Structure 1
Amino acid sequence: MRIRPVGAHALLLDCSAPADVAQAALVDAWRAELWRRRERGELTAVEIVPAASTVLLDGLPDPAATADLLRRWAPTVAASSSHAEGAADRMGERESGEVIVPVDFDGPDLPAVAQHWEVDVPAVLRRLTGTRFRVAFCGFAPGFPYLTGLPAELALPRLATPRPRVPAGSVALAGPYAGIYPSASPGGWLLVGRTELVLFDVHADPPARLGPGTRVRLAAA
């Protein structure tokens, strides 16, 4: 873990690791630990923003003092990230329950996913509905959740040519992630289904339905 200053009041934790699974577990462990420390009053930060390999802490009154705290907390976080499954739970994170996302599995790229995984389409659906997903971070578009939980060996390539328009609610796969498009946009992920669940509402609190740390299960509608 490397700590990088960002402007006058922010720090970036770089959790780059040789393996994607280890990296995802380390980022998730840091996110959970930082949220827990902030709730307990041990950390002052306006924003804690996880990404694929980093965690941004913004709104720090004293970044240098916070960096010292992070170095002291690092051994605890590293120990809890040694096993990817359930890392955030072991950090004592307060859970809000699992969100069940009803999905019509009728995506045009299901046959391509089955071919990549060397199984038939029903086996793809069993894998997707049987996986315990967790939102690692949000990005690309407001409320777009990057869901981890699939084995690393099932990572998928993106389309060679992105679609100019992917409908809102599309459930898709790319790389090691599953994701759900909160609004219509261009996209190069493989489409496996669609949901009517509203993922982003600017008038809601919080606006994103599936925020980092949320446990998610895809269920056949």
Structure 2
Amino acid sequence: MEILRYGSRALLVEVGDLDRAGALHTALLRDPPPGTLELVPAARTVLVRYDPGTTAPDRLAAALRAVDLSATADDATRSGTGARSGTVEIPVRYDGADLPEVAHLCGLTVPEVIARHCAATYRVAFCGFAPGFAYLTGADPALRVPRRTVPRTRVPAGSVALADEFTGVYPRESPGGWQLLGTTGISLWNPEADPPTPLVPGTAVRFTPADRPHPRRP
């Protein structure tokens, strides 16, 4: 664990891999050190923003080094511990342009890909790339596929996709290089809501097949 000053009101904790970052984030959510204001997890780091009037950076750093990382990121999914409890269910119409290619890369049939994608319980590890875009971990290892060689210049909002060890849902139209499995009609980004997305770090997520067409977006 390496702890770096990040301006005058935050510390950046580097832990080296996704599992340890998830374990640290889970542990800090359960028992935040005094003065902690905000936690921002990423793939290999957790940013800890603090109140300098309540705690000193050296004291906070010592508390962070004492955190027990024996808890795993999966604990957050099993126990519901995280920034939001419960499980978010996302209905998916599996009509993605890359679904046949994903099946080919995985050595599976298209129905097998869909079944495996729906069988897993995912966890929001961190958010990034675009507002409301959540990186979900917990996918079946058999579905691990690389990013597209040539990214698309336009990926429709609501597209459900895979890349490497992550699953994600594009909350708005944007460029993107992930493999498209299908689409969902539910909105995952509303800047006027609090929080603006239901997919905050620590949230458990399940995908369910949707056989009927999605309602038209307003």
SS in 2 for 1:107: coil
SS in 1 for 2:22: helix
1:71-82 equivalences under 5 Å are 71-73=65-67, 76-77=68-69, 79-81=70-72
Q: CA RMSD in A?
A: 1.9
> Does residue 219 of the first structure (1) align with residue 187 of the second (2)?
no
Q: Which residue of 2 aligns with 1:175?
A: 164
Q: Which residue of 1 aligns with 2:7?
A: 7
Of 98-107 and 58-67, deviating more is 58-67
Which of 190, 198, 202 is the matching residue for 1:201? 190
Cα offset, 1:178, TM superposition = 0.3
1:18-97 equivalences under 5 Å are 23-38=17-32, 42-61=33-52, 62-73=56-67, 76-77=68-69, 79-81=70-72, 85-86=74-75, 89=78, 93=82, 96-97=85-86
Cα offset, 1:24, TM superposition = 2.4
Deviation beyond 3 Å, 4+ runs, structure 1: 87-95, 151-154
Separation in 2, partners of 1:91, 1:130: 18
Separation in 2, partners of 1:220, 1:90: 25
Q: Which has the higher helix share?
A: 1
Separation in 1, partners of 2:160, 2:86: 21
TM-score by length of 1: 0.87
Identity among equivalent positions (%) equals 45
> Does residue 135 of the first structure (1) align with residue 124 of the second (2)?
yes
Structure 2 unmatched runs, 5+: 211-218
1:104-115 equivalences under 5 Å are 104-115=93-104
Deviations 1:104-143 (A, max 9, x none): 0000100111111111100000000101111111100001
TM-score by length of 2: 0.88
